[in-house]
Structure 1
Amino acid sequence: MRKAGFLTLLWLCITLLPQGLQAQEQPLYETDTVYFTANRKKISIPFQLVHNLIIIPVQINNSQPLNFILDSGVRNTIVTKLYYSDSLDLKEADIITLQGLGNGYSIDAYYSTGNNMFLPGIRGDNHTVYVLLEDVFDLSTRMGMPVHGIIGYDIFKNFIVKVNYNRKLLTLYRPDYNIKKKRRAEEYPLLIEGTKPYLFGTVEQHNGDTLGVKLIVDTGASHSLSLYLPTHKQLSLPPKVVEAYLGRGLSGDIHGKIGRLKAFKLGRHELQNLTTSYPDEEGIRLALNVADRNGNLGSDILKRFTVIFDYPHKRMMLLPNHRYKEPFSYNMAGFEVSTPLPGTNFYIVSNVVDNSAAKRVGVKSGDQLLSINGRDCRELPLQELLELLESRPGRKLRLRLKRSQEVIRVDFVLQSRI
């Protein structure tokens, strides 16, 4: 479980590049058309929220509804994993080589144009799709359900997009719809460069320094903030940090450090004591010279608001919700959770952190989670299980684990390491 760890991986997709196009101008595929299938002003689509990420149903050509993460940091629709029963019937598919962030290698993918895309009440024509030939992100086992891909710009550019994190409801409005700002909402200029949305905010560091930062707004990152140290000479690490695996990029793993930022200010909103990731330079080299950005703003901040993305009018609105004052936490249990059988409540411990509370009481990678504080894990959806493991510092947890054929009981107290 990396509440601010594993799932930072999705912001690492944003520099997805065809390898042969890196040294030349990349084409923007603007020939697609996405529209309501009936004469209406808006459509609401329920979504699932796991690890702070929005999952919506998407059909491509004749496929069954597939689970896609809605990621404002991604330009192209990417299919990351298909199962034996899935069929896309891709149009005009060619194999190309892709490269992204991370310390590693390039991978092959099908690149296909001329496809149809469907959401409830919505159709997209002449849609471009990349299908990875290797499941490098392993999203399904980490999200606790089959996850087939990532979609972003094709939705945001064609509609005004309202994300109600409280109700888990996505509402898409026609681009000419006049959305009136509510009294408690605040409006910000949204800078669209290429296909990416940017905001300007202010960070306050432990040493008292305050500086303006340009951040990509990324619904596909589960963390709060990520800051790129090489982009500004005044950016510095907090005094207390932990080494961390921050996620998986298209071309390999991303490592770095996680600490606490004193405050982040956006207009009249000020969020304090945020968990913030600082990726190593090697893993984000491709991103350092893109749009002069200093990092990204993720969904651990966005989920504290109802968010309206209004690309047509280059603005964004934030309306605080009941999560606004919740404290920011990072992996207080000291281990992560994976689901080797996506779609079932079968949970395995993975990546136990050295010197963590779980490590000290003998929790090991590969242990099966049977119960937490008397609650049968088979009856807990992944998001509820994660909320128990990240509830509050000082909370005592009683775990029943299965290791080989032995049932083990351990008790420990949740603690913050940063």
Structure 2
Amino acid sequence: MKRAGFLILILLSLFMLQPVAQAQELPAYDRDTVFFTTNRKSVKIPFKLVHNLIVIPVRINSSQPLNFILDSGVKSTLITRLYFADSLDLRDVNKISIRGLGEGHSIEAYQSKGNDLHLPGISGVNNEVFVLMEDVFNLSTRMGMPVHGIIGYNIFKNFIVKINYSNSVITLYRPDQKIKKRRRAEEYPLYIEGTKPYVYGKIRQHNGDTVRVKLVVDTGASNSISLYLPSDERLLLPQKVMKAYLGRGLSGDINGQIGRLEAFSLGKYELQDLTASYPDESSIKLALNVGDRNGNLGSDILSRFTVIFDYPHNRLIMIPNKRFKEPFSYNMAGFEVTTPLPGTNFYIVSNVIEDSPAKLVGLEPGDQLLHVNGRNCSDIMLPELLRLLESKPGRKLRIRLRREAEIVDVDLVLQSRI
């Protein structure tokens, strides 16, 4: 459901670099590499929504179904983690270096060409796939389920893509299909630059200034909105901000600050008192040189709508859903939860934020959560646990931890700092 604050799992606008020179952006609609397998006009694909991120089943060549995040901000299909039983039979493989957002360095990967992709009702040929040699994103441990990779442009460029966040269903339409305009639907120009979709909106800041911003429409970012301060001198930090771990890019951690905007508007629809992320300049130096953009529009906003991406006709259609008026929350505890054994209720403390409630009561990365408010964590699912960390200022959480061989009890009080 909701996900804002420092627990932004990933910012996945990736920039692939060859060892010597930067690879060029793929031209839009260069060739149809993904297509319907029947004569049907549309195909429905159920998905899982975890941390506001869309997880769909994808088979590569002869593999079993793998879990991929559908990310409109990513150019290439990326395999981030394979498990012992996974087999891909990748074709035409060579080793390269790649780099993206983050404060670290480039990492090694395998580039594979000529692969087949299979999703329910659609298939693809001659697809390029990158396989990371190191699982830098740790998506499975952050999402509490096995996640194998990320897919994006190959799906969006070939179809009209309707994402119904309320029903957890994606509908893919043939590009020549006419989409009936529903009541309350609003249409916006969608600018496809290279392989990335951009839209223009307006933000209203704490000083009352309204600024027009150019944003990547990014289903692979679980937060509401990210703003790049160096991109426009009119962009200002809110009066109240907190330091935050914002997520993970290909090249390392993304750190920054979180505050609140008075409003964000897209056409006639306005969302008020929303959280906004402000990444450190060192984390986004590559993004500042690409697309003349001011930031990312993430899924904590997108998931409040039914969203239709229509790349063939350069338009974005959005229809508010039942979540539209929900308040924007964020993690007020000051630590992130990961699951070293994806699919189990085994929780570890990570990324403890300085000056946060978690830091003040002595939580340390690596602590195992045993009980919260008297309940055994083995009986608490990850979404419920995260909702507790976001619930309301002043709420007390009685937490029992295991720190190596020691049992530690702490009382943590949620605190709103923005």
Identity fraction in percent: 67
Match of 1:131 in 2: 131
Match of 2:11 in 1: 10
Match of 1:80 in 2: 80
CA distance in 2, matches of 1:368, 1:109: 32
Residue pairs, 1:47-62, within 5 angstroms: 47-62=47-62
Match of 1:251 in 2: 251
Q: Structure 1, residues 73-130: CA drift from partner, whole Å, max 9, x if none?
A: 0011001111121111011111111122222211121111110001111111111101
Gaps of 5+ in 2: none
Cα 1:187–1:27 shift into 2, 3 Å: closer
Residue pairs, 1:257-406, within 5 angstroms: 257-406=257-406
Deviation, structure 1 residue 408: 4.4
Q: Is the 8 A contact 1:259 1:277 kept in 2?
A: yes
Q: Secondary structure at the match of 2:11?
A: helix
Q: Structure 1, residues 306-340: CA drift from partner, whole Å, max 9, x if none?
A: 11111112111111122111222222122110101
Q: Is the 8 A contact 1:367 1:402 kept in 2?
A: yes
Q: Secondary structure at the match of 1:384?
A: helix
Q: Secondary structure at the match of 1:111?
A: strand
Alignment partner of 1:147 is 2:179: no
CA distance in 1, matches of 2:3, 2:403: 22
Q: Is the 8 A contact 1:203 1:211 kept in 2?
A: yes
Cα 1:252–1:360 shift into 2, 3 Å: closer
Q: Is the 8 A contact 1:393 1:416 kept in 2?
A: yes
Q: Structure 1, residues 21-53: CA drift from partner, whole Å, max 9, x if none?
A: 32x745549345211212212221221111111
Q: Secondary structure at the match of 1:20?
A: coil
Amino acid at match of 1:193: E
Match of 1:45 in 2: 45
TM-score, reference length from structure 1:
0.94
Gaps of 5+ in 1: none
CA distance in 2, matches of 1:389, 1:410: 15
Deviation, structure 1 residue 372: 3.1
Q: Structure 1, residues 393-416: CA drift from partner, whole Å, max 9, x if none?
A: 333433343344555444433221
Amino acid at match of 1:320: P
Cα 1:27–1:206 shift into 2, 3 Å: closer
Alignment partner of 1:165 is 2:168: no
Deviation, structure 1 residue 353: 2.6
Amino acid at match of 1:230: P
Q: Secondary structure at the match of 1:402?
A: strand
CA distance in 2, matches of 1:25, 1:67: 28
TM-score, reference length from structure 2:
0.94
Q: Secondary structure at the match of 2:318?
A: strand
Q: Secondary structure at the match of 1:45?
A: strand
Deviation, structure 1 residue 223: 0.9
Q: Secondary structure at the match of 1:103?
A: coil
Match of 2:116 in 1: 116
Deviation, structure 1 residue 195: 0.9
CA distance in 2, matches of 1:316, 1:27: 21
Deviation, structure 1 residue 7: 3.2
Match of 2:177 in 1: 177
Cα 1:377–1:164 shift into 2, 3 Å: farther
Amino acid at match of 2:309: F
Bigger Cα displacement from structure 2, 127-136 vs 377-386: 377-386
Q: Secondary structure at the match of 1:341?
A: coil
CA distance in 1, matches of 2:32, 2:134: 26
Q: Structure 1, residues 120-174: CA drift from partner, whole Å, max 9, x if none?
A: 1111111110111111111111111111110000011111111111121112122
Q: Secondary structure at the match of 2:371?
A: strand
Alignment partner of 1:98 is 2:98: yes
Q: Is the 8 A contact 1:74 1:151 kept in 2?
A: yes
Q: Structure 1, residues 159-210: CA drift from partner, whole Å, max 9, x if none?
A: 1111111121112122222111211221111111111111100111111111
Q: Tell me how many residue pairs correspond in the alignment.
A: 416
Match of 1:36 in 2: 36
Q: Is the 8 A contact 1:16 1:250 kept in 2?
A: no
Backbone CA RMSD of aligned residues: 2.1
Cα 1:318–1:394 shift into 2, 3 Å: farther
Q: Secondary structure at the match of 1:9?
A: coil
Cα 1:41–1:394 shift into 2, 3 Å: farther
Cα 1:158–1:358 shift into 2, 3 Å: same
